[in-house]
């Protein structure tokens, strides 16, 4: 079986969609499409047939292209979380996924991971064979999504008990190009961490060249992402300064770091 082909497609200001192509069967799906023309151009260049839309969550900048794509082909399968399907939040959704459920694009199988926090209906798609996870707005390069609907407890579980336990060489394909700004915050709360300093310098140079900083790897996130280092002294001290008394409560520490990030500029 051939490798899963992954094509990153810039969308809007700083979003990424991903075209996933099974060369063996000539079929493709797209993760988080908001601007169809760019995605369709990629699929045409690949000589593939678009058969499915995979949504990580319901925010418009991730599913805004669904209606246009469905108008062109009403037979497209539309996957997303079971929560979003129950609440009718993803246009055209045909299948609601629960944690651990398998989905396929051609001969390639992904496992749905339930990672609510940014929103209550949020899934990630993990391809063990391709060593890749598509995590939307739960995990970013050196950061995590804002808690629009979920809680620090949910985010801690998603980052540190679900995503963070994937193999270190798993490639992390997130929904936005936020890495540089996230690393500026990481320097603020974890600036003595040499891995953060090194990554920031590398990312700043890449962005100056107009290059994407996505994907990263899970190992790199565990080394440099403040929200995945909440047991480390610098992050605990930052949480203490923000009023957290029980530093053994991982969710409280994460919540304090998230609140600091929300106010950081």
Which residue reads 């530093």 in tokens?
247
* CA 223 – CA 236 distance, rounded (Å): 16
Q: Name, in order, each residue with C-beta under 8 angstroms of 127's C-beta and a sequence gap of 6 or more.
A: 4, 108, 109, 110, 111, 133
Task: Give the Å distances, CA to CA, from 28 to 39, 136, 173.
Answer: 11, 18, 17
Token representation of residue 38: 């760019």
Enumerate the active-site residues.
57, 59, 61-62, 118, 137, 176
Q: Name, in order, each residue with C-beta under 8 angstroms of 265's C-beta and a sequence gap of 6 or more.
A: none
CA angle (55 as vertex; 92, 104 as ends), nearest 5: 95
User: What number of CA atoms fall less than 13 Å from residue 82's CA on the CB side?
Assistant: 8
Q: Name, in order, each residue with C-beta under 8 angstroms of 228's C-beta and a sequence gap of 6 or more.
A: 159, 160, 164, 221, 222
Q: Dump the DSSP string for 136-150.
A: ETTEETTEE---SSS
């Amino acid at each position: 079986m051939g490798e899963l082909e992954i094509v990153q497609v810039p969308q809007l200001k700083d979003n990424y969609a991903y075209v996933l192509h099974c060369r063996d069967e000539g079929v493709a799906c797209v993760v988080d499409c908001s601007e169809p023309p760019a995605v369709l151009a990629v699929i045409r260049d690949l000589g593939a047939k678009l058969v499915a839309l995979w949504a990580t969550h319901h925010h418009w900048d991730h599913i805004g292209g669904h209606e246009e794509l469905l108008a062109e082909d009403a037979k497209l399968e539309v996957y997303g979380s079971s929560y979003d399907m129950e609440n009718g939040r993803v246009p055209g959704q045909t299948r609601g996924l629960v944690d651990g459920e398998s989905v396929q694009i051609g001969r390639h199988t992904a496992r749905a991971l339930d990672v609510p926090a940014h929103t209550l209906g949020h899934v990630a798609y993990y391809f063990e064979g391709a060593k890749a996870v598509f995590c939307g707005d739960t995990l970013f390069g050196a950061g995590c999504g804002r808690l629009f609907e979920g809680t620090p407890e949910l985010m801690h579980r998603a980052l540190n008990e679900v995503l963070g336990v994937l193999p270190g060489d798993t490639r992390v394909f997130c929904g936005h190009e936020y890495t540089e700004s996230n690393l500026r915050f990481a320097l603020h709360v974890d600036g003595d961490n040499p891995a953060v300093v090194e990554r920031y310098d590398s990312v700043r140079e890449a962005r100056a060249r107009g290059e994407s900083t996505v994907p990263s790897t899970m190992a790199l996130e565990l080394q440099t992402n403040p929200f995945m280092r909440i047991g480390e002294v610098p992050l605990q001290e930052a949480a203490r300064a923000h009023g957290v008394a029980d530093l053994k409560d991982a969710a409280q520490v994460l919540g304090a770091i998230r609140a600091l990030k929300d106010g950081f500029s």
